[in-house]
A and B are shown apart, each in its own frame.
Chain A
Amino acid sequence: MTTEEKPDSPERSTVFADPKEVGAWERLSPISIVYFFLKFTITSIRQGFVNAIPAFAAFAVIVDNKLFWLSIALPSLVLAVMVFGVLYYWNFRFQIRNGEILIHRGVLKKEKLNLQYSRVQNVNISRPFYFAPFKLVNCIIESAGSKTSEVDLPGVSEPFAESVQSEVFATEKDEHHETSGSIVEPSEADGNLPQTTDAENSTAPMLKLSNLEAAKSGLTSYLALIVLAAFAPFFEKFSDVLADKFFPYLLKIVEPIVGDKFLAGVIILVTTFVVIFLIITSASVIGALIRFYNFELYNKKDKLVRKAGLLERKTTTLTKSKIQSVAINQNLIAKALKRVSLQYRQVGVKLTNENDGSIQIPMLEPQESSKYVSVAFQNCPDPCFQPIHRSYIKRVFLYFNVIPFIIIFSPLSILVSKYFLFAFLGLIPIFGLIKLSYKRYGFWHNHEFAAMRSGLLGHRIVIFPLYKIQMTKFRQSRGQRRRKVGNLTVQLGSGVETIPYLKSDIADRFINLALYKTESSNQPWM
């Protein structure tokens, strides 16, 4: 990737790159300094915080005049990052030349990048709020297979970013034509039919999510609980402060109103927890609004385009043929709200991460999900799931729960206290959960597509075309062999999916079909 290219034409300073003038070294807009400053600040906090813990500890223990030194250290750090941002901008040069982007960047470590269009996985355009008044955007170029090889061109004009995007996509199309020879016949599995519908041709979004829905999606994320768990170690300290300082003060106010000290205490405690929970939930909702504000999904001929974001309006473009699977998720909160979320997943994308080119629709009515699945995989019917073998309940309960419980709690109840026998009551809810997960598991396939369903209280469905499968694995224990069942694992470009206790004959037929489809397909899978 790194080359020894040298600037071979005189440098010029331009406010933003002109799409028509290629072959000359370009500079970014000076506004990009703001972007670099924010980026390096976040990077420093993320990466530097953990490394700086010993320094913090030393500071806390050794240094006497903390406030004084802090007032010097903090502005110095901010200044250092600002200077770094300016120097980074100053050294940043790029040019577009014959289907490749050349970039020279770096302050202490100089980098010379040569990104060929054919190696580019995706080009996304985002508009941070501070770029908006200047009509500038950030052009994010992702090269295939690596997260670290992402290149940002912040502070370029929108037409320029769009021209890079369209050139990359044009190169990509040519590549596909070349790799698949003359057979680029669209199949029903891929959905790249030449006939485009009116909806695909129109510039109107296929889906426009109201901001109320976007806010609701914040409720469905478990972020609130995660944050709550992360702060658990501080609760003791927090509750001490609360008990010493605020509790007596609040008690003085509440007790005369309710007339009972105990009741007043309970009310204060419950109210405090509710307030904390509401604050965290609000943070989650605000987070969702920042991410999904004015969410729009466009269905263009062979691409899906998603536009959303409050502080940074990000445009993510995903080539439909690169979609490896579609995941439909519904957790308990989403179930209560009668909504699902849907994610178009491409190679190497983790289920919860939307920053690397996958597209997520955060809120959808369940009955609408099949419409959005067919956008990626045309002619994919609604899956009709087959249950897994019933022996799953018995074996998981017996071998992974009852036996470990007996091994752990029987000796404890004999040697330590008979009260440990009560632990066996825990097996009752566990049995219920195993039964629930048995009900959620499901498998379906036809000649072109397959779907796997799993879950506990909510559910997760992953749908994929058979020809996109990377690898299959079938695993059986002794007991499973006797019952003619086994665990089927399918590796897709977007991750690994497993369905347990599937009947062997179903798995065998599926693997034979999947291998045939994968091995006989001339369609590019990525």
Chain B
Amino acid sequence: MTEEETTPNDGNDIMESRADHSQVEGFSNTQLQIDQLPKWEDIEFEPMAKNAAWEPFIQSLIFISFLMAAVIAAPIIGSKSLLYSLPILAGILLLFGLSQWHNFASHRPGVRGIALREKDIGFKKGLIWKSRTMLPFNRVQHIEIHRNPFERKLGLSSLRIFSAGGSGVDLQISGLENDRAERIKQYILEASKSETA
């Protein structure tokens, strides 16, 4: 007997065609119609919080400020003209501009998003390299919410989901509103509990 017969359908619509009734009572071996399974490629992802891009922006800004201060301070300490620093400063600002254009563009709705289904969570991200990750609830080992000082100020949270076999956090979803992150965490915990019960 295969797994398909012993397992209830659990809301995953038309999984199997029941065409082949067997001759032997109690045994069947129905064919699985892969094309009729729920399609992950059709999932609609919900956008992140509106201010999600500001947290990485602030972090980068602080780093860039220190870097620029060092570049300005270096010629002063060495009794050289500030003109030496100008091309480096221009380069740093250009890189910062480009990275922040990428940061804001990659947080746009449609580019980055999260999707909850009955039995799994999906996350997509990336502007040039687009990736979509799916993690079934019954494989979740551990889940935690993380807030750094900037996230706390902006009312944001990062959701960290751990499963087995990874080298650390398996799925990190940053840029969620606090209450949404809490709700998702609760939802996943309850769903994973009922899955393993």
**Which residues of A line the B interface, CB within 8 A?**
179, 183, 185, 187-189, 324, 347-348, 447, 467, 469-478, 481, 491-496, 508-509, 511-513, 515-523, 525-526
Contact = CB atoms under 8 A, between A and B. Distances in A.
Contacts of B1: 185, 187
Contacts of B132: 473-475
Nearest to A184: B6
Given A477-B129, A518-B136, A521-B3, A526 B34 contact: no
A522 B1 CA distance: 14
B163 A508 contact: no
Contact of B3 (A470, A474, A509, A520): A520
Contact of B38 (A185, A188, A512, A522): A512
A493 B196 CA distance: 17
A519 B136 contact: yes
Contacts of A183: 6-7
A181 B138 CA distance: 15
A526 B40 contact: no
A318 B157 CA distance: 41
A495 B39 CA distance: 26
A80 to B, nearest CB: 37
B134 interface: yes
B119 A519 contact: yes
Nearest to B32: A447
In this complex, the member of A471, A477, A508, A512 whose beta carbon has the largest number of chain B beta carbons within 10 angstroms is: A471
Interface string B1-44: 11110110110100100000000000000001011011111000
Contacts of B196: 179
Contacts of B46: none
A512 B3 contact: no
In this complex, the member of B40, B41, B137, B165 whose beta carbon has the largest number of chain A beta carbons within 10 angstroms is: B165
Given A447-B32, A521-B3, A523-B3, A515 B40 contact: yes
A512 B139 contact: no
Among all A-B residue pairs, the 9 with the closest Cβ atoms: A475-B131, A519-B119, A493-B164, A470-B163, A187-B3, A493-B165, A512-B37, A473-B133, A470-B139
A324 to B, nearest CB: 7
Contacts of B69: none
B138 A518 contact: yes
Secondary structure of the A contact surface, majority rule: mixed
A521 B1 CA distance: 14
B121 to A, nearest CB: 10
A508 B7 contact: no
A79 to B, nearest CB: 41
A495 B3 contact: no
A515 B9 CA distance: 13
B171 interface: yes
A474 B126 CA distance: 12
Contact of A478 (B12, B34, B128): B128
17 contacts: A185-B6, A348-B165, A470-B165, A470-B170, A471-B171, A472-B134, A474-B132, A475-B130, A491-B163, A492-B165, A509-B34, A513-B32, A515-B37, A519-B137, A520-B4, A522-B6, A523-B3
In this complex, the member of B4, B37, B137, B139 whose beta carbon has the largest number of chain A beta carbons within 10 angstroms is: B139
Contacts of A477: 128-129
A494 B6 CA distance: 27
A520 B165 contact: no
Given A348-B165, A519-B10, A513 B34 contact: yes
Given A347-B164, A491-B166, A508-B41, A189 B3 contact: yes
A305 B3 CA distance: 27
In this complex, the member of A179, A481, A493 whose beta carbon has the largest number of chain B beta carbons within 10 angstroms is: A493
A106 to B, nearest CB: 29
